[in-house]
A and B are shown apart, each in its own frame.
Chain A
């Protein structure tokens, strides 16, 4: 097999792919600064870096979406040019995107066949495709039923369909872009097994991530990017989490759980028996009962789409309940409008920051008053008070260290971290008694992340009740006093921090109530 230079999928092996001195400029930004990077057959190579470090730019160059301003790409030592995704595919490069490119109501086979020339054109050749899929799934141990409807598969299985697609199309080198973001810990373990199997078969794999423990788990080598430049290239075995973090951020980072005084606050938020449905009658919340005390951070863990958003919106007054009650302090607010709840002191940092959290085309200063219009310092008799708003905005921007050219800059021109700081500034300026923070650090660089966590701890110390919804278990473990795990709209369990382990949470996230034997069976 190795001698023929062919992979089990029948594709020619890529012995090595190297980029040399790649430079890519965007107006005002040097996205890739003389980047050297190479990956060999049989190797899993991590590309590690914060958001904006230039990982995706580099991958888009390999995929033919961008052309480099300087530098060259060598395939098995020969310089090549990749002008389009078609070129890239012909050279044997396959991409597994973070967001799946699948048609939900088609079968696995149909999804794979989509866009390929049929051997029996103009008729479809689904049996041929299916047969090949079966060979591939056996060879690479990707258990997926080719006849299954994609929309009914679990997220982890859908990802396998993406991998099958890439293999089917002749992917000898596979790029996996943040593939674990949507998976449970168990699904991550399975994905890693598949990745190792592919490497053994002679594929070259590039694993893009900013999660250090995953990089340490599965890869052979790590290339670290910071501000567009390569700042380190190390063998995974020879490095540590601390070293990688320092390379990635450019300074030492602590992972310690912040010191915290004991809470003895009274119950601030009580959600009791809450159920909710969407317009199509699908159940979003299923008898959710939850309490948050003043000065407490309750983490809500779960795989995306298991009711976390509905829970946050129900508390904020944006999702009506079919049954159940919501009580803030001693007041039942189940029927109160969203704007009334803002007035009662419910702050809400929504997970879809650009979609819900800000009006992109409004200025920074206009966005700072978005949820504060009724306040006397914002408007009087229905007329906006520009002076007072500008003064306040200026203060908030400096207090929260928002980097913006001016108050009048449209907020869409700020980086993700700075937009999140603006949202944070706005919600905290409302002096919330309860803060619902959904994915507050997703897509935010480590620096801004730390800052946001510090602010949350400050709020906790000041007696704010905080509901922290996050898909990042590290964040939940680091911040929360108690951890509620959601699965299919239900709260599976609420675990005190001291009793929480990744395994236990992982099983709960998958809808399994763990007993002792299960916990031991899953590797850390």
Chain B
């Protein structure tokens, strides 16, 4: 699957005998079919509880694409999903599985909150934000390095250790939020909710609205005489929404991860270690070090997601599981749907952002029980992951058909004929 990836072999572009872009586009057909298959099964479930699926899906669709708030919420949710997915890409490419993004995200959020509250308004906004994101990145990375080290040194299965570290991060978060990090106001009022103090306002990531304002977009869509969809899009910038700069950072991160994996020797080694550790060892790579590195980077990106959530959206730390909000797990699916490619993760994150917001809107509009919405999203995941099988199968077929066979021995048939 990954081998035919055009981006993996950038020299590919100007070689002959390669697959056309339409061919590659077809790779996504099974995924899209799977998506619709999941919605179809979901429709049956909706029918069974007496809800008109057509109306439910329409409510979901208009909920996302019918209002500027819906659109902005989709993008706001896509942001942490994308960052987590990027981390997942790196880990998967090194053939390690990081299920610990939840914990890493929480550690990033905690560290960011702590630094911002401690520093207060001592530093200029840009420096404070930069430092906060950096510490979130480092904290998540450290939380990822632990299972990495355990795997490399002691052979501890990283799936188990990352899952366990999720629990530890959650409880550590509660411990801190009920202790040293608790908002003094909560303590004074005696309510003792596990919240941190609000971060200093200078640490707030600029929202698109604010940027638009400072650039002079002060007129609303109505004043401009725009209607419909155009107005909504314009409104994203000109009218107040929660959309913040984190989205841009996440997209930049996607490009950086792409460059790292396919344009640098470090990325080459990570992928070589992932595909074939024996050959990587033979090539003189320090295989264990690259396993640790991959898990560290993976954790760091999840930590960055936590930092961005705090700085851009919540502006304070509260219940760890509410901050991570399952992004650590959904992000894995986003990465898989994006075919473990950093750039593929971008549309994939948008789609899953839409699904999350749509599910939410559908639940409210149609009075559907929340567990059913969760089940629907689960169905999508199940179908999409299964669809990969068909994509792979097709890839094999194409190869066998396309590759000329030098001297009667080539392709998969070479092995078969022997």
Contact = CB atoms under 8 A, between A and B. Distances in A.
Interface of A: 26-31, 51-52, 54-57, 227-228, 316-318, 337-342, 348, 350, 352, 355-363, 365-366, 369-371, 373, 378-379, 382-384, 386, 389-390, 403-410, 412-418, 445
Given A389-B11, A413-B411, A355 B278 contact: yes
B416 A382 contact: no
Nearest to A56: B418
B9 A365 contact: yes
Contacts of B409: 29, 51-52, 415-417, 445
Interface string B264-291: 1110110110011011111111000000
B129 to A, nearest CB: 28
A27 B401 contact: yes
A359 B272 contact: yes
B413 interface: yes
B284 A408 contact: no
B404 interface: yes
A28 to B, nearest CB: 5
B20 interface: no
A357 B10 CA distance: 23
A28 B272 contact: no
Contact of B279 (A56, A228, A340, A358): A358
Given A362-B3, A417-B409, 12 more contacts: A317-B284, A348-B282, A357-B282, A359-B280, A361-B276, A363-B11, A365-B11, A369-B268, A383-B263, A413-B411, A415-B410, A445-B409
B282 A54 contact: no
Q: Which of A378, A386, A410, A413 has most B Cβ within 10 Å?
A: A413
A408 B275 contact: no
- From DSSP, what is the main secondary structure of chain B's interface residues? helix
Contacts of A408: 9, 11-12, 15, 18
A132 to B, nearest CB: 35
B15 A407 contact: yes
Given A406-B15, A415-B407, A371 B284 contact: yes
B399 interface: yes
A228 B279 CA distance: 33
A361 B407 contact: no
B405 interface: yes
B414 interface: yes
B416 A363 contact: no
- Greatest chain A CB density within 10 A among B15, B265, B269, B279 is at B279
Interface of B: 2-4, 9-12, 15-18, 263-266, 268-269, 271-272, 275-276, 278-285, 397, 399-414, 416-418
A421 to B, nearest CB: 11
B403 A28 contact: yes
Q: Chain A CB within 10 Å — which of B17, B271, B407, B418 has the most?
A: B418
B410 A414 contact: yes
A338 B3 CA distance: 27
Report the 8 A-B pairs with minimum CB-CB distance, sorted nearest first. Answer: A339-B284, A403-B406, A26-B413, A415-B409, A29-B413, A31-B417, A27-B400, A338-B284
Contacts of B264: 379, 382-384
B411 to A, nearest CB: 5
A29 B411 contact: yes
B13 to A, nearest CB: 9
18 contacts: A26-B417, A27-B397, A28-B405, A28-B413, A29-B410, A52-B409, A338-B282, A340-B284, A348-B282, A356-B282, A359-B275, A361-B275, A365-B9, A370-B272, A373-B269, A382-B264, A382-B266, A384-B264
A30 B2 CA distance: 29
B268 A366 contact: yes
Contacts of A357: 279, 282
Most chain A beta-carbon contacts within 10 A, residue among B407, B417, B418: B417
Contact of B265 (A55, A350, A373): A373
* Residue of A29, A350, A389, A410 ringed by the most chain B CB atoms within 10 A: A29
Nearest to A403: B406
A365 B13 CA distance: 13
Nearest to A317: B284
A56 B415 CA distance: 10
Nearest to B276: A359
Given A52-B418, A370-B272, A406-B17, A29 B405 contact: yes
Contacts of A373: 265, 268-269, 283
Contacts of B416: 26, 29, 31, 57
A294 B262 CA distance: 39
A404 B409 CA distance: 11
A28 B268 contact: no
